[in-house]
Chain A
Amino acid sequence: MSTDLTVEASTAPGVQAGIEETTAPAEAPPTRRTSPVLRTLLAKVAPMFAAIAGLAALWYAVTYLVLGEDKRFLLPPPHQVFGETLGRPEIMQPMLAALWQSVMVALAGLVISVVIGMAWAMVMAQTRLLEKVLYPYAVILQTVPILALTPLIGIWMGYGIAARIVVCVIIAVFPMIANTLFGLQSATAPAHDLFTLNRASRLQRLLKLQLPAAMPAIFTGLRNAAGLSVIGVIVGDFYFQQGSPGIGGLLRVYTLRLSMEPLFLAIILTALFGVVVFSAFAALDRAVIGKWYGER
């Protein structure tokens, strides 16, 4: 036994390393270590920056390699778009004011969509009959082209902010209705049995079972509705221009004037707005639902 141990000790890598250290102290080259926080951050933002860089490269390629010099005004290169707009208050001030106006309209439309959509779904979830009666109207709202409704909305609501909000709501409400209804109906049969056995009222069942069970689906609806409310506000701005203009209104003005640099900046800001709204709800989703169901 003791012999075995001696043999093991003399051949053990750690011991050999120790001997080497005493005879010739190794000077290990200093290793550069990235902190875990930095690594996580890099892992998260690197793909995003890579995508932006890829898009910019494609943009430059189309501008300089595809378009001839006489057509280059159709797609001015990124540095020209930013260079000729960002430093000019006469362009930026009205654009930011219009963007703010659109943000407010989109948020108002989103809030109304959430309230109407969830209430609509909660009513439908009560009985199959109510679902059969009310669901077709939600589908109609989704399928009728919004452009076909805009004249009517203008006549009824005027051509200002209220009409823009209505357009937003019409576009954004369907995902809230559909997802909330799906979520409310997702509670399992045994869970319903549990509530039945304990003589739960309809309200208790809704508040303590159906609504919490619906939360993942509601958040999916919220993310979709948030994205659609941005589309809704651009459409609304485009057609209803009474009152202070929104970013959609400016898009129209820039298009008519062929002011390509401001036009592109307005498109970029609108897209950023959509991304921010979507990401905010995705983060909220992870914070709330992730706690219950694990990482999503």
Chain B
Amino acid sequence: MNTTTTTATLALSGVTKRFPTGTTALTGVDLSVDAGEFVSVVGPSGCGKSTLLRLASGLDEATEGSVDVDAGTTSYVFQDPTLLEWRSARKNVELIGELSGLSKEQRRRAAQEALDLVGLTGFEKQHPRQLSGGMRMRVSIARALVAEPDLALFDEPFGALDEITRLAMQTELQRLFRLKGFAGLFITHSVAEAVYLSTRVVVMSGRPGRIVAEIPVPWEFPRPPELRFESDFAHLVGQVSAALEEHA
């Protein structure tokens, strides 16, 4: 992963990813996420959305093309909360500070702030098994935000949640995005979720994944939950869905 001076927080140029098995997951992907942008990626299953995120995070390397990140800190929210069962909620959030060598006092204060931010005040000492699915995901988001990231990557974090919790988490994430001002790249299967959360929705084709449409979302933040029931919103969701179906 190169770090260059570019206006984009994240820039992928001509990225192709081929696995040793011969499978091509992505081909010729050009994508940029600027500071203050929240970009969602939708596409059919197996089109390489998660691979795209792994390349952006540096967990994997592109076979061709370049991935440039201009961010002090990048954080990653996994599909599963990926909490360490033997640690309390606070200790899970503190982990990031432990790994980067922060003092005990610093990391405890930062963890407490992050947990307060995601509405988990009073649940600091609970272990993951004592928390609901939504609360576990909140801990995971607190862990991602504790490092004050410039770029936050989300790999379908709400996919396993029930509908009510999912809608609540979307509102929560929107609030955190406005509050913290990180650039966001969000992978999801839900077109409505993508439209509600994002400043721009990127549509990918079936494997090998390539970007087939980029649709800007016009509404300012904060977006009220009722926006989901308005005709303009439904129209935009329909537009994204049509692009998806056309290139599936």
Contact = CB atoms under 8 A, between A and B. Distances in A.
A195 interface: yes
A193 B59 contact: yes
Given A195-B99, A199-B99, A292-B127, A212 B82 contact: no
B12 to A, nearest CB: 18
Interface in A172-215: 188, 190-191, 193-200, 204, 208-209, 212-213, 215
Interface string B55-73: 0011100000000000000
Contacts of B154: none
Interface residues of B, number: 21
A196 B78 contact: no
B100 interface: yes
Interface string A7-30: 000000000000000000000000
Nearest to A196: B59
Nearest to A197: B76
Interface size class of A (residues with CB under 8 A): 20 to 34
B86 interface: yes
A215 B86 contact: yes
A137 interface: no
A291 B127 contact: yes
B85 A193 contact: no
B237 interface: no
A198 B99 contact: yes
B96 interface: yes
B86 A212 contact: yes
B59 A197 contact: yes
B84 A191 contact: yes
Contact of A197 (B74, B79, B80): B74
A156 interface: no
B129 interface: yes
A63 B129 CA distance: 53
22 contacts: A188-B80, A190-B80, A191-B84, A193-B59, A193-B76, A194-B78, A194-B82, A194-B95, A197-B57, A197-B59, A197-B74, A198-B100, A204-B99, A208-B84, A208-B95, A208-B98, A213-B84, A215-B86, A291-B127, A292-B86, A292-B127, A292-B129
Interface of A: 188, 190-191, 193-200, 204, 208-209, 212-213, 215, 291-294
